[in-house]
């Protein structure tokens, strides 16, 4: 009888506390959840749009680099120079020059600019236009235009100009973006002609059309604040309109001498995708269902639980080392078994957990080591393709060999450590590929003390720093030098990576950066790996001075040798 009264009393208390607690907090919790979900929705939406916006910047910069490559190849073609300047003696030599000039032009344009009209005009009025496009203006009119005169006055700079119509018949009534640069002989200060890449504004908009929607707009303006391309076609060719949107993204594009704007109307997006009254109705229904379910579950749970509590309260009179054996519901039996086996299994679980954590850490490190940025592979293969296309067999072979060696050391070799000599070899391959892709303005020198090349270090701990120096220490195609010093100091291996780049204003931003060009192993991961392997006394130290350079110092125990 006493047991039944105790059971009923416990059931009443639990039901009262649970149901009253749920009903009293449902309004507050629902309000908080709705407000938080609004903020999360807006924040997530804005972050997604920001990523898309900055992706446009990367694609436009990549487009500019491709144009620079094409212009440089055209400017360096001796056949095109002879053809445009009429440098030949006979009609046969004229035919040969014209044929070779055509081949050089096709190689320079390639497939990436298949829909681009490329026009060459010499100072004497000689023209060359790719494919079968036809000019709708005379060479003299084009040479006397303001945009061409501006390009000739600044022969080292590429000009991007918006025009309401192009120079060819098919673009006569079509808005276009002109990319103009002077043609100049090597060693000469006077241009002998002009090169113009004509891209329709419609084709140019492909670089940002995935960003735009009824809630977002994209604008690209020149230095006079005139819109040269936009998802809002009515604004093209006019002054930049004032934003009526809640969020405005702005980014300077120095290569284009333009400014990109992204307008985001997050409130309208929220209104269409986020129905607050419906959420309140759903929350109320869920609350009612939860209350009913809790009442039922509590009733079914309290009965066997009260029996267990009653028996456990009498266990005080007995030895606590004795097992509790109860007969009853499945839940009580399972709880009894769990209690009885808990102490016996505790040490086993702890040891197993430690083993799993060690294996997990090892697997995470191996997974990080085997990550390679697909974009890096694509760009490297693209560079090799162009070398082959240009007939440079020697550089193509060396680049492929370096790439194969880099992949072998990164993917095939699953060892956590590697000798310093092999790590340096891997770095040389990485540097060689970067020099092929971006030029050899950045020199890397290696200074390894005698006897240190046989010591082992964690694999790929140096590459992220070389990568960071390549892409951040020397912006805007700056020349520079990176030096790597490795020597033995007492019982440690001291590694220093020194560059003479622009330095780092905020050193903390270097360790938190998530932009990796080759691998997924960032600088912060290198520091974490070293501390996991050797303790908190080891890791990386960074010192930097603006416009003087950066020094990375790494200490590793020298207790492992091949």
- Per-residue pLDDT reduced to its tens digit, 207-221: 787 777 777 888 888
- In the prediction, which pLDDT does 216 show? 82
How are beta strands 191-200 and 176-184 bridged, if at all?
antiparallel
Whole-Å CA distances, 391 to 65, 71, 109, 353, 396: 21, 19, 16, 58, 9
- Whether the predicted pLDDT of 315 surpasses 50: no
| DSSP single-letter state for residue 246 | S
Alpha-carbon distance of 60 to 71, in angstroms, equals 16
Query: What CATH number has the domain spanning 374-557?
Result: 3.30.565.10
- In the prediction, which pLDDT does 269 show? 60
The number of helix segments (H) and strand segments (E) in the chain equals 15, 16
- Whether the predicted pLDDT of 343 surpasses 50: no
Greatest CA separation found in the chain? 124
- Whether the predicted pLDDT of 342 surpasses 70: no
CA-angle at 494, arms to 492 and 499, nearest 5°: 170
- CB count within 10 Å of CB 205 equals 18
Q: Mean pLDDT, the chain, as a whole number? A: 77
- In the prediction, which pLDDT does 249 show? 84
- In the prediction, which pLDDT does 163 show? 84
**What is the share, in percent, of the chain residues with pLDDT greater than 90?**
6
**What is the share, in percent, of the chain residues with pLDDT greater than 70?**
72
Rg over CA atoms, the chain: 35
Whole-Å CA distances, 190 to 42, 72, 75, 152: 55, 16, 13, 9
Least confident of 58-67, 133-142, 300-309: 300-309
Least confident of 343-347, 394-398, 452-456: 343-347
Give the pLDDT band (50/70/90) at residue 447: very high
Which structure tokens are listed for 156?
Answer: 């080292």
Q: What is the mean pLDDT of residues 524-534?
A: 80
- Identify the H or E element spanning 34: helix 2-75
pTM of the complete model: 0.42
Pair 203, 115: CB distance under 8 Å = yes
User: Tens of pLDDT along 21-69?
Assistant: 776 777 777 677 767 777 777 777 777 777 888 888 888 888 888 888 8
Least confident of 182-196, 287-301, 535-549: 287-301
Query: DSSP string spanning 268-297?
Result: HHHHHH--HHHHHHHHHHHHHHHHHHHHHH
Burial zone of 368 (CB within 10 Å; 0-12 exposed, 13-18 middle, 19+ buried): middle
- Whether the predicted pLDDT of 71 surpasses 60: yes
Pair 53, 262: CB distance under 8 Å = yes
- Whether the predicted pLDDT of 180 surpasses 70: yes
Least confident of 220-229, 409-418, 471-480, 488-497: 409-418
Q: What is the mean pLDDT of residues 329-336?
A: 68
Which structure tokens are listed for 458?
Answer: 């964690």
Which structure tokens are listed for 452?
Answer: 């240190």
Return the higher-pLDDT residue of 494 and 321. Answer: 494
Domain extents in the chain: 76-205, 323-369, 374-557
Give the pLDDT band (50/70/90) at residue 518: very low
- In the prediction, which pLDDT does 509 show? 60
Q: What is the mean pLDDT of residues 261-266?
A: 80
- In SS3 terms, 496-508 reads as EEEECCCCCCCHH
Pair 55, 82: CB distance under 8 Å = no
Which CATH superfamily groups domain 76-205?
Answer: PAS domain (3.30.450.20)
Least confident of 113-127, 250-264, 266-280, 384-398: 266-280
């Amino acid at each position: 009888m006493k047991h039944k009264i105790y059971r009923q009393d416990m059931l009443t208390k639990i039901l009262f506390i649970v149901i009253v607690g749920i009903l009293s907090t449902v309004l507050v919790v629902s309000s908080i959840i709705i407000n938080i979900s609004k903020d999360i929705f807006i924040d997530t939406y804005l972050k997604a749009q920001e990523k898309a916006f900055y992706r446009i910047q990367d694609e436009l910069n990549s487009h500019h680099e491709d144009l620079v490559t094409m212009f440089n190849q055209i400017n360096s073609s001796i056949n095109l120079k002879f053809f445009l300047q009429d440098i030949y003696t006979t009609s046969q030599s004229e035919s040969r020059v014209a044929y070779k000039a055509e081949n050089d032009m096709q190689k320079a344009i390639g497939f990436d600019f298949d829909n681009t009209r490329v026009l060459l005009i010499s100072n004497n009025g000689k023209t060359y236009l790719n494919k079968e496009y036809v000019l709708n203006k005379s060479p003299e009119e084009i040479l006397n235009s303001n945009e061409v005169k501006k390009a000739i006055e600044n022969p080292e700079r590429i000009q991007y100009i918006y025009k309401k119509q192009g120079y060819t018949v098919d673009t006569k009534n079509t808005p276009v973006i002109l990319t103009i640069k002077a043609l100049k002989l090597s060693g000469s200060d006077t241009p002998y002609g002009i090169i113009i890449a004509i891209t329709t504004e419609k084709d140019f908009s492909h670089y940002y059309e995935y960003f735009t929607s009824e809630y977002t707009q994209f604008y690209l303006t020149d230095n006079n604040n005139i819109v040269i391309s936009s998802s809002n076609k009515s604004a093209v060719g006019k002054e930049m309109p004032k934003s009526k949107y809640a969020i405005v993204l702005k980014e300077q594009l120095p290569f284009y001498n333009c400014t990109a704007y992204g307008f985001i109307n997050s409130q309208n997006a929220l209104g269409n995708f986020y129905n607050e009254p419906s959420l309140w109705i759903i929350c109320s229904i869920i609350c009612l269902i939860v209350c009913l379910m809790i009442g039922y579950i509590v009733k079914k749970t309290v009965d066997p639980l009260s029996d267990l509590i009653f028996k456990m309260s009498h266990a005080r009179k007995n030895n606590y080392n004795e097992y509790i054996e109860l007969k009853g519901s499945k839940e009580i039996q399972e709880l009894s078994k769990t209690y009885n086996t808990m102490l016996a299994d505790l040490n086993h679980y702890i040891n197993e957990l430690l083993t799993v954590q060690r294996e997990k850490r090892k697997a995470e490190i191996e997974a990080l080591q085997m990550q390679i940025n697909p974009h890096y592979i694509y760009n490297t293969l693209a560079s090799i393709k162009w070398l082959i296309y240009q007939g440079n067999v020697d550089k193509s072979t060396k680049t492929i060999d370096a790439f194969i060696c880099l992949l072998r050391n990164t993917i095939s070799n699953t060892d956590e450590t590697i000798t310093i000599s092999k790590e340096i070899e891997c770095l040389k391959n990485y540097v060689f590929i970067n020099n092929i892709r971006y030029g050899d303005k950045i020199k890397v020198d290696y200074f390894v003390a005698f006897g240190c090349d046989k010591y082992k270090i964690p694999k790929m701990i140096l590459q992220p720093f070389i990568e960071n120096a390549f892409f951040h220490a020397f912006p805007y195609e700056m020349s520079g030098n990176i030096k790597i010093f490795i020597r033995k100091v007492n019982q440690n291996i001291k590694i220093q990576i020194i560059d003479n780049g622009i330095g780092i204003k905020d050193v903390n931003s270097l360790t938190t950066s998530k932009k990796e060009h080759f691998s997924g192993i960032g600088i912060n991961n290198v520091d974490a790996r070293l501390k996991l392997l050797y303790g908190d006394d080891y890791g990386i130290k960074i010192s930097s001075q603006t416009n003087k350079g950066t020094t990375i110092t790494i200490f590793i125990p020298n207790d492992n040798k091949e």
